[in-house]
Amino acid sequence: MNIHLIGSLFALQIINVFSKIPHSFAKTGHSNNWAVLVDTSRFWFNYRHVANVLSIYRSVKRLGIPDSQIILMIADDMACNPRNPRPATVFNNIKQHINVYGDDVEVDYRGYEVTVENFVRLLTGRLQPETPRSKKLLTDEGSNILIYLTGHGGNGFLKFQDSEEITSQELSDALEQMWQKRRYHEILFIVDTCQASSMYEKFYSPNILAVASSLVGEDSLSHHVDPAIGVYIIDRYTYYALEFLETVEPSSTKTLSEFLKVCPKHYCLSTVGVREDLFRRDPKIVPVTDFFGALRPIELTSNIVNIVDFNKSNKTFLSQSKEKYKLISQFPNFSQYS
Amino acid sequence: MTDQEINDVIGHDSPMDQKCRIYASISFAVLLLGVGLPLWWETTAVPRVAIPYVGIRALDDLELHIHVRFLLGCLDTKNSQQLADELMQRLMDARFADIYRISLSHFGTTNTSIARAKTLDDLNKAAAGFQLNHGDILVLEAPAGLGENLIHVTSGRSIYFAQNTDSAKIAQVLCQWIYRDAALTLTKNALTEPTEYSLDVVNRRRFPVSSNYDVLLTVVNPEPELLQVDRNFSHIAQDYIDPFLEELSIIADFSIKSQWLYFLPLGVKPKEVPANNKFGRYFALSEDILPQVITPLEKKLASQVSLYPTINLVAYMVPCKSAPLHIFSRNGRRVNEKLDLEPFHSPRWGGIVLINPSAEFCKQAKANKIFKPPVNITTKVFLTHLRLLLGIPDKEEISRTSMAELSGLKPRDWEVDDLLRMRSVEQLTSAKLTLQSLARLLREISNIVITETVGGRIMRALELIELSAKLLNEGDLKGGFLASKEAFVMSEAAFTDPSLLALLYFPDDQKYAVYIPLFLPIMIPVLFSLKNIKNYLFCSDQV
């Protein structure tokens, strides 16, 4: 009896040890959020990919990532395509619930700028010095990055606009460069293509959680056709991901493990692949908003410095002087010279 | 036609003709194979400057022990020897030795002005006589004048201690406030092995190193039609913040901007609570929802126009109808109740202060009156934010130890030294990692172009890292810091140079696709003629 009791106590102890996650892992260490959203295909029959990427764009923006921290790479040839019966809209649903094009879409890389080279340059930070800030990924070792890719893929590659492709090796090397350069804290990598899981198989850098809409050998299927548009309008995985994200609020406590289950096999028809071994926190306790939102940690400022003999600088500034402003003529008067 | 005529017309090969033809073939072949091929090879090769791989690998063993000097002066020479020994022992057994090397010199102050000092001012005057450089610390035994405290830390580089102070106490002050060896070690480890170590709250707060920062002061007035705010308020940017940052100009280049934003609501709904104050109520904002205040604000701040990290300072004017707005911490109390201020900050982002108009002002607000926010206290809050975000943390209190108040906008000298040490370590470690990562990439992938610029930058960065480590080891903190800053900038520039990817997306097969059609039509006759040349030269009897 005694032995039994001690045994069960011991077992309880063990359970306790394993269920207790270290405090530092449960708490996030990130200080800012970024999103890199890429649609690698173009032309009208790929309408669904644009709807995919804009669905995610809409969600991260709604949940608080500012446009300056979202890099959106799409061909952007749908909203104003002559075949679009409702110009300036992109819908994710035949019932036209949600116009994912929204009111303000800020595309950073447009049209033929969506290339493998630009994508890798963006990730590794090797851009021309004259590149505007909106096209740069200015992350540091405290940044959580959401990378979402959609397009046409095969085993081990993802096609970029019919002319080139990025291999899974290239992608994982680029991510490793980012890690070595301390350009991220954690990455949530989502890819919605055929044979998507082949894209993350070669990853070897830490702190990456990868999700793929289909396993190797499977096709990632589209959700439904809108006869008015004439083509498939969204892919299954992203359709259900958006459905889930629409229920998330900036303050909500939904976790990543719930997000990983948004598309079970009878919805997606393909198997959603997840790679967790590189990620060091438990998805069950990581809030979705660690990647899809932008909640910055805050601290109350407690010890206000006390400053004695506190004088402002003696410099005079233009704004303080009592200068009168007057209108001057737009063109110089040359009459005095002639 | 005779045979003779036919021969003339057809022009049978004379030996002379044959010789000319062979020589022509030889000259073609020599030109093409001897000059053309090497030239083609040379011009299509990926230009790669030699990289000092050995030197970069040797950075792993780069020794960094910041050399600090400290001078110990006791009233009694005999005492000073004993205290010096004790202090050395206490400092060296900590993690201190990992990152620091100390040279301690001690002396007696029996017949000097120090021994005669009656007040702190006298001591300060006496201490001013010592030549102290960046990083040096003067520890003096004070004859009297410290009052109840055992130790007093000045705003210069000196520390006074009362007679009979325990050496453990002095060592504690030195480690905890002045040298901060634990923070330095953690910073270094977190950079080199991010999977093993992560920064603590204090060290995660400051901005990552950069050569430039932008400071953006934003005054938010959500209801300008109801609340007119004094336009001169934003002058605190030039009057106070600018001179403060000028004192820190050695660390980085700062540029300061200010802006006004209107019609920008708070984004969260505070709870109204009836209270016994002049308003008869207050609005409560809990600490937990403050992150949601920053999110909508961030979209409108336009900090994205700058290429450098931006330190945001936001003054939010609370409209009368939702005043007074108070922030409550998780345990339900107001943090700055005495100052009647509502400041908070976000690591690596900036600071926000909510400014409440007074009850008197709000009652007569219908008259066209201008609200003058309290400039002095707001400035103090912003300076607190800037100090925290740039890496001068709050010092944890030590019993019976006092610290000189800040006078003017200048940070204390030893705080600047601490900042220099911290950033030297960060910059050096970061530059080292950058170079090593780049070297690994360049060695593994052979078709990456290494231009002269990139090669030069790598060489320069490597030299500067070594120089900086040498200077720091020798005790030249300022020189070592400046070298590390340049090394950091150089290595960043080398790593992010766009030319590195220039040929990566120009595959090898395309090279052949371009050159083969050009060369093949010429090469085929030349290659065939080689056989004839061989026959002519070596088997001439058969011809």
Write out pLDDT tens, residues B121-142. Answer: 888 888 888 888 888 888 888 8
Query: A46-50, A239-243, B9-13: which range is least confident on average?
Result: B9-13
Q: What is the Cα–Cα distance from A71 to A131, expressed in whole angstroms? A: 13
DSSP secondary-structure letter at B397?
Answer: P
Q: What is the Cα–Cα distance from B332 to B401, expressed in whole angstroms? A: 30
For residues B173-197, give the mean pLDDT: 87
User: Is A152 labeled as catalytic in the residue annotation?
Assistant: yes
pLDDT of residue A321: 52
Collapsing DSSP to helix, strand or coil, A73 comes out as: strand
Q: What is the Cα–Cα distance from B379 to A305, expressed in whole angstroms? A: 10
Contact B408 A251 (CB under 8 A): no
Contacting residues of A for B203, CB less than 8 Å apart: none
The larger pLDDT score, comparing residue B95 to residue B291, is at B291
For residues B469-479, give the mean pLDDT: 92
The larger pLDDT score, comparing residue B162 to residue B7, is at B162
Residue B352 — pLDDT band, cuts 50, 70, 90? Answer: very high
Contacting residues of B for A302, CB less than 8 Å apart: 335-336, 394
For residues B462-483, give the mean pLDDT: 94
For residues A75-81, give the mean pLDDT: 84
Contacting residues of A for B198, CB less than 8 Å apart: 24, 29
Is the Cβ–Cβ distance between A91 and A226 less than 8 Å? yes
Give the active site residue among A30, A49, A152, A223: A152
Element (H, E) at B178: none
pLDDT of residue A188: 94
Burial of residue A6 (number of CB atoms within 10 Å: 0-12, 13-18, 19+): exposed
Question: Would you say residue B465 has pLDDT above 90?
Answer: yes
Closest-CA residue of chain A to B292? A295
Residue B145 — pLDDT band, cuts 50, 70, 90? Answer: low
Query: B29-38, B166-175, B357-366, B407-416: which range is least confident on average?
Result: B357-366
Query: A26-30, A327-331, B251-255: which range is least confident on average?
Result: A26-30
Contacting residues of B for A317, CB less than 8 Å apart: 235, 238
For residues B428-440, give the mean pLDDT: 93
Residue B437 — pLDDT band, cuts 50, 70, 90? Answer: very high
**Half-sphere exposure (Cβ direction) of A158: Cα atoms closer than 13 Å:** 28
Tokens matching residue B418? 């601490």
Is the Cβ–Cβ distance between B213 and B230 less than 8 Å? no
Question: Would you say residue A332 has pLDDT above 80?
Answer: no
Nearest to A216 by CA among A240, A205, A236, A200: A200
Contacting residues of A for B387, CB less than 8 Å apart: 305
pLDDT of residue B57: 92
The larger pLDDT score, comparing residue B356 to residue B1, is at B356
Residue A19 — pLDDT band, cuts 50, 70, 90? Answer: very low
Residue B80 — pLDDT band, cuts 50, 70, 90? Answer: confident
**Which residues are CB-neighbours of B377 under 8 A, at least 6 positions away?**
A304, B339, B341
Collapsing DSSP to helix, strand or coil, A336 comes out as: helix
A159-163, B110-114, B195-199 — most confident range = A159-163
Average pLDDT, chain B: 85
DSSP secondary-structure letter at B219?
Answer: E
Question: Would you say residue A11 has pLDDT above 50?
Answer: no
Residue B409 — pLDDT band, cuts 50, 70, 90? Answer: confident
Give the active site residue among A30, A49, A185, A194: A194
CA B303-B306-B307 angle, 5° bins: 130
Is the Cβ–Cβ distance between B524 and B45 less than 8 Å? no
For residues B383-412, give the mean pLDDT: 87
Tokens matching residue A103? 């009111």
Average pLDDT, chain A: 83
Query: A32-36, B216-220, B298-302: which range is least confident on average?
Result: B298-302
Tokens matching residue B492? 């960043």
For residues B481-486, give the mean pLDDT: 95
For residues A302-309, give the mean pLDDT: 78
Closest-CA residue of chain A to B336? A302
For residues A185-197, give the mean pLDDT: 92
pLDDT of residue B507: 67
Q: What is the Cα–Cα distance from B147 to B119, expressed in whole angstroms? A: 10
Residues in chain A: 338
For residue B77, give Cα distances in angstroms to B74, B117, B124: 6, 18, 21
Query: A24-38, B381-395, B483-497: which range is least confident on average?
Result: A24-38
pLDDT of residue B540: 61
Contact B242 A308 (CB under 8 A): no
Tokens matching residue B246? 């000028």
State percent of chain B over pLDDT 90.
26
Tokens matching residue B64? 């960094």
pLDDT of residue A207: 92
The larger pLDDT score, comparing residue B489 to residue A269, is at B489
Contact B336 A121 (CB under 8 A): no
Contact B339 A312 (CB under 8 A): no
Q: Tell me the residue ranges of DSSP E strands in A99-179.
A: 109-110, 143-150, 152-154, 157-160, 164-167
State percent of chain A over pLDDT 70.
87
Question: Would you say residue B302 has pLDDT above 70?
Answer: yes
User: Is A80 labeled as catalytic in the residue annotation?
Assistant: no
A vs B: CB pairs below 8 A: 177
Tokens matching residue A1? 């009896």
Contacting residues of A for B329, CB less than 8 Å apart: 300
Question: Would you say residue B278 has pLDDT above 70?
Answer: yes
Closest-CA residue of chain A to B351? A301
Query: A203-212, B242-251, B270-279, B375-384: which range is least confident on average?
Result: B270-279
Is the Cβ–Cβ distance between B299 and B220 less than 8 Å? no
Q: Which residues of B287-304 are buried (b: 16+ CB within 10 A; e: fewer)?
A: bebbbbbbbbbbbebebb
pLDDT of residue B253: 93
The CA R_g of chain B, rounded to the nearest whole Å, is 37
Between strands B253-262 and B342-346, the pairing is unpaired
Amino acid B316 reads: Y
Instruction: Tell me how crowded residue A109 is: count the other CB atoms within 10 A of its CB.
Output: 20
For residue A212, give Cα distances in angstroms to B233, B379, B446, B513: 53, 51, 32, 37
Nearest to A307 by CA among B100, B324, B406: B406
Contact A133 B307 (CB under 8 A): yes
Burial of residue B285 (number of CB atoms within 10 Å: 0-12, 13-18, 19+): buried
For residues A235-255, give the mean pLDDT: 88
Question: Would you say residue A194 has pLDDT above 80?
Answer: yes
Q: What is the Cα–Cα distance from B162 to B147, expressed in whole angstroms? A: 9
Q: Tell me the residue ranges of DSSP E strands in chain A.
A: 32-39, 70-74, 109-110, 143-150, 152-154, 157-160, 164-167, 186-192, 208-212, 222-226, 231-235, 273-275, 299-300, 307-308
Contact A67 B299 (CB under 8 A): yes
pLDDT of residue B7: 55
Q: Best interface-test mutation with A: which of B495, B500, B503 has the largest number of A CBs within 10 A?
A: B495
Instruction: Tell me how crowded residue A232 is: count the other CB atoms within 10 A of its CB.
Output: 19
Instruction: Tell me how crowded residue B461 is: count the other CB atoms within 10 A of its CB.
Output: 26
**Which residues are CB-neighbours of A4 under 8 A, at least 6 positions away?**
none
> Of B195, B381, B505, which is closest to A304 when you measure between CB atoms?
B381
Q: What is the Cα–Cα distance from B342 to B285, expressed in whole angstroms? A: 10
Residue A148 — pLDDT band, cuts 50, 70, 90? Answer: very high
Question: Would you say residue A18 has pLDDT above 60?
Answer: no
pLDDT of residue A312: 66
- Residue-wise pLDDT tens digits, B490-506: 999 999 999 888 777 66
For residues A195-206, give the mean pLDDT: 91
Instruction: Tell me how crowded residue A238 is: count the other CB atoms within 10 A of its CB.
Output: 29
Tokens matching residue B393? 């943390």
Contact A306 B405 (CB under 8 A): yes
pLDDT of residue B345: 92
DSSP secondary-structure letter at B61?
Answer: G
For residues B276-289, give the mean pLDDT: 86
Is the Cβ–Cβ distance between B472 and B424 less than 8 Å? yes
> How far away is chain B from the Cα of A65, in angstroms, using its nearest Cα?
8
Is the Cβ–Cβ distance between B135 and B102 less than 8 Å? no
> How far away is chain A from the Cα of B166, in angstroms, using its nearest Cα?
28
State percent of chain B over pLDDT 70.
94
Residue B94 — pLDDT band, cuts 50, 70, 90? Answer: low
Is the Cβ–Cβ distance between B434 and B495 less than 8 Å? yes
Q: What is the Cα–Cα distance from B404 to B426, expressed in whole angstroms? A: 28
Contact B501 A24 (CB under 8 A): no
- Residue-wise pLDDT tens digits, B226-238: 888 888 888 888 8
Q: What is the Cα–Cα distance from A198 to A170, expressed in whole angstroms? A: 13
> Of A302, A311, A317, which is closest to B335 when you measure between CB atoms?
A302
Q: Is the peptide bond before B324 cis (omega within 30 degrees of 0)?
A: yes
Contacting residues of A for B291, CB less than 8 Å apart: 295-298
For residue B46, give Cα distances in angstroms to A103, B513, B518: 47, 17, 20
Dihedral class, residue B145 (left if φ above 0, else alpha if ψ from -120 to 50, else beta): left
